[in-house]
Structure 1
Amino acid sequence: MRMRALCAGLGLMLAFLAFDALAATADVRGVRLWRAPDNTRLVFDLSGPVQHSVFTLSAPNRLVIDVNGAHLTTPLDKLNFANTPITGMRSAQRTPDDLRVVIDLSAVVNPKSFTLAPNQQYGNRLVVDLYDQEATPSPSVPATAVPDTPQLPVTPAQPAVKLPSVPGGKRDIIVAVDAGHGGEDPGAIGAKGQHEKDITLAIAKALQQQINQQKGFRAELVRTGDYFIPLRKRTEIARKKGADLFVSIHADAAPRPSAFGASVFALSDRGATSETARWLADNENRSDLIGGVGGVSLDDKDRMLAGVLLDLSMTASLSSSLNVGQKVLTNIGRATPLHKRRVEQAAFMVLKSPDIPSILVETGFISNPNEALKLTSASHQQVLARSIASGVRQFFQQNPPPGTYLAALRDQGRLPTGPREHVVAPGESLALIAQRYQVSLGSLRSANGLKNDTVKVGQTLNVPATTLASQE
């Protein structure tokens, strides 16, 4: 009896173990693909967590993905492999619960794979990035090289400001235009299924077109198609391009569908300036978790380390960011309603570049049905792009970087600048601002009607043209 009971108990235990093993099996429910300038990303949507391994084979080139505890429940022959090194995909069950996927390749690749836990938009995922072995990573590739890239209709543009030619080959002012989100990360989603990533790319392309029509300027797109770029890499791309300004384009959602209007943000080193700013920043910073940053763990230690590395002293670039942001905001306000009439500040990770003035432009709320319709309109996208370009141009006409075409015009007295403006940044005093612009303290007080030397963060000052030398 005792032996029979023991056998029965063992049998029951084995049955439970078998059931648990069966329950742990995950389904591969979908496979998605994106092409970036230097890599191809495959995303396997899963019903649960899995273990996996990846290895390559040669003659012919293949990539093998073994997924333990998985079944394939979606076809693999529906993917578009154009402009990728993938020529085909096939699968088989190595065992009843172990899946093998074989990817046929036309070239050698460097694979990198990792899994992502569920979030608000997706379930479990297995991400496989195939990096081109010989290609030099560069985000500036023709749009035709990226599948499913929205094409921007050509509409009449704002007449270019005609500036006189300057001999000597002075360099252009470079503006890095960053289309928010992309690929695995759609961004905010409108009531009718509009994706923020598509709207931002269309506006970014329109802005590039507008800026490039201005002599002495050149705009570089950070993201040229529908693919994911980690937030920190976006500023790295801008730096490699030699950017003088970083402009990130967004069209976010708000907790209330009634929220409307455009906003401009600069980085805050003391936290957000409003609840809206804080809410938007928190959502944007989650983009890396949505898209995945190459398997980098985002546990508490990594976030702390990232904060130490990113929170560098940015007083000079922050001042310029506030300045150009105010000009952009003023111009946008002439074309569309504003959510806030001053440049807001929040801890957007994409703005944390210590050496490049950076602004984030929220072109409107995709969560507002009326604004969502406008944001998907090519004509409204052009209006927004012209407004942003005008603000950027005004800022650099007043503050041309040394060695640029506009700086040469200014030095020759041929650059129409008008009065200069300065937005007070944290840690700045009136005396420090006067020294920076080489004007006397008295003339700076007089130009702004100040009775003393007290200034407030965010205050806009008029900077007179009189120099210290002329005051002596």
Structure 2
Amino acid sequence: MGKYLNGSFCHRASRKLRGAALLLVCWPLWISSAMAGSSIEGARIWPAPDHTRLVFDTSTPVEHNIFALENPARLVIDISNANLAADFSTLDLSGTPIQRIRSAARNGSDLRVVLDLRSDVQPRSFQLDPNQSYGHRLVLDLLGSGAGTRTSEPVQPTLSDNGSGRRDIIVVVDAGHGGEDPGAIGPSGTREKDVVLRLARALAEKIESQPGYTARLTRDGDYYVDLRSRTLLARRHNADLFVSVHADAFRTSQPRGASVFALSQRGATSETARWLARSENRSDLIGGSGGVSLDGKDDTLAGVLLDLSMTASINASIGVGDYVLRNLEQVTRLHKSGVEQAAFVVLKSPDIPSILVEAGFISNPQEERNLGSANYRERLANAVFKGVEDYFNQTPPPGTLVAWQKRQSTGGTSHYQIRRGDTLSAVARDNRTTVRELMQYNGLSDDRVVVGQTIRIPAS
């Protein structure tokens, strides 16, 4: 067969045969190339609290089939036209539902991989195209596995430890990317997923250290959480605020500076349509810490409620984003001076104020070095938290310790000093009130304000 498929044989035959006969003689060369198939060149495993991700590096895209076997529990992955060039024995399987990985050739040209399992799992598989770090990949998610499997039941509010019976403000901090997704990579090889996890941990520590606040992380290790699950985690924790931390990148090294994003109106419109279209969402509560139910509402009323909730969420997001930018400006250059708006999936909670903080451009050599510094990340974390704290000091959620403390100190009224760039409408939006109410409360004849002017804010 080897001689028959030799290229020189095909060439010699072509001198004697013409037309279709030539194709028949040369066709086995194409078969030979296909038979070479794909190689499984490496493997990685990423344990997460609610799933385990197993990744096979493949030399080309592959066709595969997965099925489960019982007594004992096993998962079988048949990969067509493939061979094994990796050593599965080097994988650390601790903390995963996988007890052992076996493999063998099948049908002469296929590969069968068998996962001996400690417990039953729900498998999900898909393929990924090459990126900056990896080539073609076959990804297998084992759902319902992990040491801390998440449930859909909401977490009870955290009560402040001062005996007041009032709850903490809950901030969910989201470190972008993770696991198989490294995010952007800097000129010196710094990976976004590593930098933002350290920054998210630092921010969570700042939040936790402040009385009246509780922080929760969407991920606290090197594993991937899909984008929708991040917002669902915020809802499960009854979050008052969702902060997603990232590091920006550009094709050139010149751009630099931090940015803050809130959801755009286009993103809000598409998300409203998505919620109304999915029947399982109709019974969800709107309001991260409890609020309005869509259950039993007709489409028109449900749409109005969602629009109102989404608009309030976006306005609050822009408000907290403004405060964060003011404080970031004391630490680093700003890429844009105002809160930008985009249709990022992680910002699409219709009921939870959500911001995305780009801590800097990892593609800029100086900012890559800055983001790699623990001291610099600490300063960034301080600035973001100070912005969050400033916002909630102005508009604390009802029932929280911060709201109670504000009423105790002001007798139900707070004061705000107008800064450069402020408008009465922006102050009203940040404080969840109206321009008319502020004008009446302060005896103003119009909506004009001047820098340094102090106005009274009615209680939330």
Q: TM-score, normalised by structure 2?
A: 0.77
Specify the SS of the correspondent of 1:439: helix
User: Partner residue of 1:53?
Assistant: 65
Within 5 A, what are the aligned runs for 1:176-195?
176-195=172-191
Q: Is the 8 A contact 1:179 1:248 kept in 2?
A: yes
User: Partner residue of 1:286?
Assistant: none
1:380 to 376, 383, 390: 376
Q: CA deviation at 1:131?
A: 1.9
User: Partner residue of 2:216?
Assistant: 220
Q: CA deviation at 1:137?
A: 3.3
Gaps of 5+ in 2: 1-16, 152-159, 277-305
Specify the SS of the correspondent of 1:319: helix
Q: Deviations over 1:361-380 (max 9, x none)?
A: 11111111111111011111
Q: Is the 8 A contact 1:200 1:249 kept in 2?
A: yes
User: Partner residue of 1:333?
Assistant: 329
**Alpha-carbon distance in structure 1 between the residues aligned to 2:312 and 2:351:** 8
1:30 to 42, 52, 74: 42
Q: Is the 8 A contact 2:78 2:111 kept in 1?
A: yes
User: Partner residue of 1:169?
Assistant: 165
**Alpha-carbon distance in structure 1 between the residues aligned to 2:382 and 2:111:** 52
Q: CA deviation at 1:425?
A: 12
**Alpha-carbon distance in structure 2 between the residues aligned to 1:384 and 1:92:** 51
User: Partner residue of 2:259?
Assistant: 263
Within 5 A, what are the aligned runs for 1:96-115?
96-115=108-127
Q: Is the 8 A contact 2:262 2:355 kept in 1?
A: yes
Q: Is the 8 A contact 2:203 2:382 kept in 1?
A: yes
Larger Cα-atom Rg:
2
**Alpha-carbon distance in structure 2 between the residues aligned to 1:69 and 1:50:** 8
Kindly tell me: are residues 76 and 386 of structure 1, through their superposed partners in 2, closer, same or farther at Cα, counting changes over 3 Å? same
Q: Deviations over 1:227-281 (max 9, x none)?
A: 111112111111111000000101121222021111111122258xxxxxxxxxx
Q: Is the 8 A contact 2:104 2:112 kept in 1?
A: yes
Q: Out of 409-418 and 187-196, give the one that drifted further.
A: 409-418
Q: CA deviation at 1:60?
A: 3.0
Instruction: Give the total of aligned pairs.
Output: 400
1:419 to 416, 419, 425: 416
Q: Could you tell me which amino acid in structure 1 is paired with residue 242 of structure 2?
A: F
User: Partner residue of 1:449?
Assistant: 448
Q: CA deviation at 1:167?
A: 4.6
Kindly tell me: are residues 391 and 418 of structure 1, through their superposed partners in 2, closer, same or farther at Cα, counting changes over 3 Å? farther
User: Partner residue of 2:298?
Assistant: none
Q: Is the 8 A contact 1:315 1:426 kept in 2?
A: no
**Alpha-carbon distance in structure 2 between the residues aligned to 1:67 and 1:90:** 13
Q: CA deviation at 1:7?
A: 10
Matched, 1:464 2:460: no
1:400 to 389, 396, 400: 396
Q: Percent identity?
A: 46
Q: CA deviation at 1:213?
A: 0.6
Kindly tell me: are residues 425 and 106 of structure 1, through their superposed partners in 2, closer, same or farther at Cα, counting changes over 3 Å? farther
Specify the SS of the correspondent of 1:77: helix
Gaps of 5+ in 1: 140-163, 272-303, 452-459
Kindly tell me: are residues 132 and 420 of structure 1, through their superposed partners in 2, closer, same or farther at Cα, counting changes over 3 Å? farther
Q: Is the 8 A contact 2:414 2:457 kept in 1?
A: no
Kindly tell me: are residues 307 and 196 of structure 1, through their superposed partners in 2, closer, same or farther at Cα, counting changes over 3 Å? farther
Matched, 1:94 2:106: yes
Specify the SS of the correspondent of 2:45: strand
User: Partner residue of 2:237?
Assistant: 241
Q: Is the 8 A contact 1:443 1:464 kept in 2?
A: yes
Matched, 1:309 2:266: no
Q: Could you tell me which amino acid in structure 1 is paired with residue 123 of structure 2?
A: P
Q: CA deviation at 1:177?
A: 0.2
Q: Could you tell me which amino acid in structure 2 is paired with residue 326 of structure 1?
A: D
Q: Deviations over 1:329-376 (max 9, x none)?
A: 111111222222222222222111111111111111111111111101
**Alpha-carbon distance in structure 1 between the residues aligned to 2:142 and 2:228:** 20
**Alpha-carbon distance in structure 2 between the residues aligned to 1:136 and 1:264:** 32
Q: Could you tell me which amino acid in structure 2 is paired with residue 375 of structure 1?
A: L
Q: Deviations over 1:277-317 (max 9, x none)?
A: xxxxxxxxxxxxxxxxxxxxxxxxxxx97784279632111
Kindly tell me: are residues 410 and 332 of structure 1, through their superposed partners in 2, closer, same or farther at Cα, counting changes over 3 Å? same
Q: CA deviation at 1:200?
A: 0.5
Q: Is the 8 A contact 1:177 1:219 kept in 2?
A: yes
Q: Is the 8 A contact 1:310 1:352 kept in 2?
A: no
Specify the SS of the correspondent of 1:251: strand
Kindly tell me: are residues 199 and 315 of structure 1, through their superposed partners in 2, closer, same or farther at Cα, counting changes over 3 Å? same
Q: Is the 8 A contact 2:60 2:136 kept in 1?
A: yes
User: Partner residue of 1:15?
Assistant: 28
Q: Deviations over 1:418-469 (max 9, x none)?
A: 4188988999999x97548943458485696259xxxxxxxx999932659x
Q: Is the 8 A contact 2:83 2:109 kept in 1?
A: yes
Q: Out of 331-340 and 321-330, give the one that drifted further.
A: 331-340
Kindly tell me: are residues 41 and 389 of structure 1, through their superposed partners in 2, closer, same or farther at Cα, counting changes over 3 Å? same
Specify the SS of the correspondent of 1:384: helix
Q: Is the 8 A contact 2:424 2:447 kept in 1?
A: no
Kindly tell me: are residues 261 and 467 of structure 1, through their superposed partners in 2, closer, same or farther at Cα, counting changes over 3 Å? closer
**Alpha-carbon distance in structure 2 between the residues aligned to 1:252 and 1:444:** 45
Matched, 1:208 2:220: no
Q: Could you tell me which amino acid in structure 2 is paired with residue 381 of structure 1?
A: R
Q: Out of 107-116 and 230-239, give the one that drifted further.
A: 107-116
Q: Is the 8 A contact 2:435 2:447 kept in 1?
A: no
Q: CA deviation at 1:16?
A: 4.7
Q: Could you tell me which amino acid in structure 2 is paired with residue 419 of structure 1?
A: Y
Q: Could you tell me which amino acid in structure 2 is paired with residue 449 of structure 1?
A: R
**Alpha-carbon distance in structure 1 between the residues aligned to 2:115 and 2:266:** 49
**Alpha-carbon distance in structure 2 between the residues aligned to 1:32 and 1:118:** 15
2:385 to 381, 389, 397: 389
Q: CA deviation at 1:66?
A: 0.8
Q: Is the 8 A contact 1:253 1:366 kept in 2?
A: yes
**Alpha-carbon distance in structure 1 between the residues aligned to 2:224 and 2:383:** 27
Specify the SS of the correspondent of 2:387: helix
**Alpha-carbon distance in structure 2 between the residues aligned to 1:135 and 1:252:** 32
Matched, 1:42 2:33: no
Q: TM-score, normalised by structure 1?
A: 0.75
